[in-house]
Amino acid sequence: MEGLKILCLPSGGGQQGPILAAAGADVTVIDISKKQLEQDGKVAKRDGLTLKRY
């Protein structure tokens, strides 16, 4: 998945985005819920991953 651009709409619980980022994808997560975006951010930070969140 290296370099593949993925849009997660909505974020779906904070697991899919980080999993895809760990596989090498360029991931953007969009969700109306701040709580969901925070969860994605926590998992990404914990695992040293990069996600764009909106």
Tokens of 17: 């985005």
- Host domain of residue 23: 5-53
Tell me the CA distances in angstroms from 28 to 1, 53, one per residue in order: 14, 6
Distance, in Å, from the CA atom of 20 to the CA atom of 29, rounded to the nearest integer, reads 11
Q: Give the pLDDT score at 9.
A: 87
If residue 8 lies in a helix (H) or strand (E), which one and from where to where? strand 5-8
What is d(CA 35, CA 11) in angstroms, rounded to the nearest whole number? 10
What does the pLDDT read at residue 7? 93
State how many domains the chain has.
Answer: 1
In degrees, rounded to 5, the angle at the alpha carbon of residue 31 between the alpha carbons of residues 48 and 4 is 55
pTM of this structure: 0.82
Q: How confident is the prediction along the chain (54 residues), in pLDDT tens digits per residue?
A: 898 999 988 866 767 889 999 999 999 999 998 888 898 889 999 999 999 989
